[in-house]
């Protein structure tokens, strides 16, 4: 029947729930040594950013090492010893933002225009209600434990600059089966937006690190996400890989761009094999497909 085929197509997209933010992360992951300052340090102390200035987008900025960087007045981190910081813009970012770098009492401001995006509404019906709103206390307890694990993974702030590599797409081929930012209505109830970029590829397809980083979570069996890996590409820019059938990395592993992390699967709350690729920075959900282009732009403009 046609509707069943349509439902199956939609369900190839994953429906993993986003854990609520917690204010107190647990013990941090052991972090690699900070790199020694290199030749790629900025030529001057000017503060400038390049990348994808759009909702869900990402940019790289350079400026005076040690500067405190603020977006709309909120401190989001410090420029590293080589003069770099990565910043991101969430789904609800307004059309205009001010980024500031504060160093030795001096403030440099950059006003940026954020391109708005349109997001689809995605209806998924016929999901077992227990997977949408679990009421079983044992399941609720498991979800809470796993949320704590994820908070540890998100809290990483690796002193690395994998984000300067530019990102590659982690799987070859396939088709996009779920776009980032879609508003989802699960069994008739509005849910959190879908913060993954879904690529439908067969189970067993290798997943490669899009850039260098350190593994901050590697768990083969999460309730929603199934096999799940997080990588910190530096400064807490975390990419996530959901529904994996096999994990080839462990927490603390330092990976290089292109290194195999494991394989695509359909584990957790997914009904078809696909990679659900996610990105997060400073509590903001970013669109990894936009990051690929944004980091390429940043490289061309800031690293030449
Ligand atoms: Zn997804």
Per residue in 131-165, pLDDT (tens digit) is 778 889 999 999 999 999 999 999 999 999 999 98
Closest CA to 253 of 125, 151, 160, 145: 160
Q: 275 CA distance to ligand 1 centroid (A)?
A: 7
Q: 101 CA distance to ligand 1 centroid (A)?
A: 34
Q: 245 CA distance to ligand 1 centroid (A)?
A: 15
Specify the pTM. Answer: 0.85
Q: pLDDT digit string (tens) for 81-136?
A: 999 999 999 999 999 999 999 998 899 999 999 999 999 998 888 877 777 788 89
Residue 198 to residue 289: CA distance in whole angstroms: 10
Q: 196 CA distance to ligand 1 centroid (A)?
A: 4
- Look at strands 121-124 and 183-186 and give their pairing: parallel
Burial class (CB in 10 A: 0-12, 13-18, 19+), 172: exposed
Q: 30 CA distance to ligand 1 centroid (A)?
A: 28
User: What is the set of domains in the chain, with CATH numbers?
Assistant: 24-31+118-284 (2.70.70.10)
């Amino acid at each position: 029947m046609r509707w069943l085929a349509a439902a199956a197509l939609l369900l190839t997209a994953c429906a993993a729930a986003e854990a609520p933010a917690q204010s107190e992360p647990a013990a941090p992951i052991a972090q690699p040594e900070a790199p020694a300052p290199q030749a790629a340090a900025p030529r001057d102390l000017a503060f400038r950013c390049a990348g994808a200035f759009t909702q869900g987008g990402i940019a790289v900025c350079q400026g005076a090492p040690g500067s405190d960087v603020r977006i709309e007045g909120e401190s989001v981190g410090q420029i590293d010893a080589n003069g770099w910081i990565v910043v991101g813009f969430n789904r609800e970012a307004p059309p205009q933002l001010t980024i500031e770098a504060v160093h030795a009492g001096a403030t440099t401001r950059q006003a940026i225009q954020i391109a708005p995006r349109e997001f689809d509404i995605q209806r998924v019906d016929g999901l077992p209600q227990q997977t949408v709103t679990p009421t079983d206390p044992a399941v609720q307890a498991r979800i809470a434990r796993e949320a704590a694990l994820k908070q540890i993974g998100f809290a990483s702030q690796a002193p690395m600059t994998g984000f300067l590599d530019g990102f590659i797409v982690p799987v070859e081929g396939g088709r996009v089966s779920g776009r980032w930012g879609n508003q989802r209505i699960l069994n008739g109830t509005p849910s959190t937006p879908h913060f993954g970029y879904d690529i439908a590829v067969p189970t067993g397809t290798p997943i490669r690190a899009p850039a260098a980083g350190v593994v901050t979570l590697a768990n083969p069996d999460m309730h929603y996400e199934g096999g799940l890996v997080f990588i910190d590409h530096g400064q807490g820019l975390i990419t996530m890989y959901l529904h994996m059938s096999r994990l080839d990395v462990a927490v603390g592993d330092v990976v290089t761009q292109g290194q195999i992390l494991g394989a695509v699967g359909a584990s957790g709350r997914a009904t078809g094999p696909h990679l659900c690729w996610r990105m997060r920075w400073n509590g903001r959900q970013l669109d990894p497909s936009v990051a690929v282009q944004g980091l390429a732009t940043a490289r061309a403009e800031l690293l030449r």
